[in-house]
Amino acid sequence: MESQRDVDCLCLTDASDVNPPDAALVQWLACGRQEVMGELLRRHHPRVWRLAYRLTGNADAADDLAQEAFVRLYTSAGRYRPTAALFTLLHRIVVNLVIDQRRGRKPVLRLTDLKADPPAREEMESPESHERSRRVQLAVQALPERQRAAVVLHRYESLSYREIAEILETTEAAVESLVMRGYAQLRESLADLRPM
């Protein structure tokens, strides 16, 4: 049976494209074609999950955030306009979910316990590297939320100020200020560590 989304589907894009761009996939998603979610997840889930983990330091929270981000992508797909890259939208959803949750709004996630996970020990080469990883994680988690988001997006996602500004819905000048203050605090809190 045809789903409701098919009834008012306005998408006219070519479904035979073997490697459709993100914008086409989202358009098909808006038409109720849930099967494209698999491809969107393949393309974007790892990055979304890593961002969620870096922002929360908690794997369970990252699981919930990543799930919620893609559900929200589905429910808002009809409003998506490909003026910005899809990862920008997904990153914005994750950042806003984290900020909302920490401010006590929209308690839709199981983020009540956001104590940072210990780093994945099996991936560490030595107790020393484990300890250093833990130090970095705690230092990043200690940043104010918008500074943390800006630094994570800049350092770990390698985004430009312009892209970060789109995600945080602010100006590039504001992003520059957030990044500067964030790095300054990290420089202070990790002053005793030198690169290995």
The residue ranges that bind another protein (CB under 8 A) are 3-5, 7-8, 32, 34, 37-38, 41-42, 45-46, 49-50, 53-54, 59, 62-63, 66-67, 70-71, 74-75, 117, 119-120, 123-124, 129, 132-133, 136-137, 140, 155-156, 160-161, 176, 179-180, 183, 186-187, 190, 193-196
Q: Least distance in Å: CB of 196 to another protein?
A: 7
The rounded distance, in Å, linking the Cα atoms of 119 and 139 is 13
Helix and strand element counts for the chain (H, E): 9, 0
Q: Which is nearer to another protein, 83 or 158 (CB)?
A: 158
The rounded distance, in Å, linking the Cα atoms of 22 and 8 is 21
Q: Least distance in Å: CB of 92 to another protein?
A: 18
Give the pair of three-digit tokens for residue 180: 């500067």
Q: Least distance in Å: CB of 149 to another protein?
A: 15
Residue 147 · residue 182 · CB < 8 Å: yes
CA proximity to 177, closest of 155, 152, 151, 138: 151
Q: Which is nearer to another protein, 66 or 149 (CB)?
A: 66
